[in-house]
Amino acid sequence: MVSFCADIDRLFTEEPFLDRCKAARDNGFQSVEFTLPEEVSLGQLGDAAAYDGLKVSVLTMPADKSASAFDKKSKRKFIETFDDLLDKADFLECKKIFISGKVVSETTFDEEREAFVQALKAVAPRARQNGVRILLGFKNPIENPDFYPASTLEVLEILDELNDDKAFAYLFDVYQSQMSEGGLSNTIDGLISLIGHVRIAGVPTGEEPDAGEINYDYLLSLLEMQGYQGHVGCSYTPRMKTTDGLKWMKKYV
């Protein structure tokens, strides 16, 4: 059976941040993922995230902090940020940290990409030591010009260079993939061993996954058939109130 995770950076935003965990659990979610808010104390967050057996599936590093990995001059700052996030992940019993890419100019691409890879290599040993996997994904170039990584291939090239499947995994964002690549079934069939987390949304609207061009009945059953053990993150923008749009999920839970 599919285990759904609520991305509370996008869902239940009608509620104050700390109340979103309760809202997620009350509406059938078994776990949550989010960007750690600076204004919320770890103690408060720990209490909220543990509501009724709720789990924290993924912590997302803030975009500006992730961007520091692309500059060799700020490598130390990135490592410090990662170590702090890793400590918080340990407190929240979270085993996955998502580090996103950034917009990279053509003139500095090689330099910034190399800095990014080296920064990831630098934090890998502590991630392995703590049993945490770093997730890497991409944003489609149609909506995000000059963003890197911009494709599954570019993520795979990074993972190949890092050569450390205990510390790194692929965040398979179905929305991003379908917007620019397609071949979703082939990605699942060929890369299931590398996929550490899945995110879903309707395509092309980015809203609830009950409408659009993706057959989620088939896609979710394929994930199960391939033995996917992780969570499926619901990372979309609700059409109206989050709870009003959750009818789609009832047939899966």
The crossing angle, in degrees rounded to 10, of helices 109-129 and 75-91 is 30
Per-residue model confidence (pLDDT) at position 252: 85
With tokens 């619901």, the residue in question is: 234
Mean pLDDT by 10 residues, the chain (253 residues): 93 96 96 92 92 96 97 97 97 97 97 98 98 98 97 98 97 98 96 97 97 95 95 97 94 83
Provide the pLDDT for residue 161.
Answer: 98
pLDDT at site 71? 97
Q: Which residue has the tokens 């890369």?
A: 191
Nearest one of 45, 123, 32 to 81, comparing CA atoms: 123
Predicted local distance difference test score (pLDDT) of residue 251: 86
Cα–Cα nearest to 231, from 1, 4, 30 = 4
- Please tell me the pTM assigned to this model: 0.97
In the chain, the amino acid numbered 177 is S
**Cα–Cα distance measured from residue 159 to residue 194, given in angstroms and rounded to the nearest whole number:** 9
The residue extents of the domains of the chain are 4-252
- Which residue shows structure tokens 């609700």? 238
Give the CATH fold of the 4-252 domain. Answer: TIM Barrel (3.20.20)
Paired tokens of 51: 């509501």
pLDDT of 143? 97
